[in-house]
Amino acid sequence: MFIIGISGGTASGKTTIVSALKNFFPETVLEVISQDSYYKKTDDLNFEEKTKLNFDHPKAIDFDLLFVQLNELKKGKTIEQPVYSFTEHNRINDTKNTTPKKILIVEGILIFNDKRLLDLFDLKIFIHADADERLIRRINRDQKERGRSIEEIMNRYKNTLKPMHQTYIEPHKNKADYVFDTTKTNNKAIAKLTNLIQQELK
């Protein structure tokens, strides 16, 4: 199994790039795991308390479970991947049956913060985009896909997203094997990653 870690700021283009790769390669060879599936459970909090959590801090992620499940996949075992709901701010009871594939992509804003994960990644990619462009994309996405108001989005950006990016995401750029700037286009990153995966499959 060849494991690719793809990190970068919120709305930098990670999901778009990964979706393009999923569409290009058959399901039989490529699997994707998102860091977002591994947010810690918030069963003990009411909804208002959940909305105030800092989801962009490494402590919000269950890295222990993610590390264990990545190792299980590497050993050829099937896992029950958790499923997270952004509208409920919590994991739901369902899980996703995930089987080992030749290529595994792990994507998320904070995945380079855990040394255990870094050591598992055979290839590390950082997706960079201009801060203003990322904010515009974030507003559009959270309104359409997550039902968030402009006020909620901007408050979260100012109080958590921006400072967390500066503290826990941007400093890890130098750990990447490749850094792609997607402010204007994702095409270069998609083409390069497609080529790298094709070489690995050969």
Q: Which domains does the chain have, with CATH numbers?
A: 2-201 (3.40.50.300)
Residue 81, pLDDT > 90, answer: yes
**According to the model, what pLDDT value does residue 91 have?**
84
Question: Which residue, among 53, 138, 140, 139, has the nearest Cα to 88 in the 3D structure?
Answer: 53
**Are 184 and 23 spatial neighbours (Cβ–Cβ below 8 Å)?**
no
Distance CA 110, CA 40 (A): 14
Q: Which residues pair with 133 in a beta bridge?
A: none
pLDDT value, residue 189: 93
Convert the pLDDT of each residue in 45-60 to its tens digit. Answer: 787 777 777 888 999 9
The C-alpha atoms of residue 115 and residue 180 are separated, in whole angstroms, by 22
Is the pLDDT score of 147 beyond 80? Answer: no
* Strand 30-34 relative to strand 103-107, pairing: parallel
CA distance 199 to 149: 44
Using CA atoms, how far apart are residues 154 and 54, in angstroms rounded to an integer?
14
Q: Count of CB atoms within 10 A of residue 172's CB?
A: 18
Going from the C-alpha of 153 to that of each of 49, 51, 131, 156, 168, the distances in angstroms are 16, 11, 15, 5, 20
Question: Would you state the structure tokens that stand for residue 185, as one six-digit string?
Answer: 């286009």
Contact, 55 vs 86, CB < 8 A?
A: no
Rounded CA separation 172/110 (Å): 9
Which one has a higher pLDDT value, 154 or 45? 154
Predicted local confidence at residue 126, as pLDDT: 96
Q: What is the pTM of this model?
A: 0.89
DSSP state of 39: B
The confidence band for 131, taking pLDDT boundaries of 50, 70 and 90, is confident
Task: Considering only residues 61 and 86, tell me which one the structure prediction assigns the higher pLDDT.
Answer: 61
In 3D space, the residue among 147, 124, 142 whose CA is nearest the CA of residue 193 turns out to be: 124
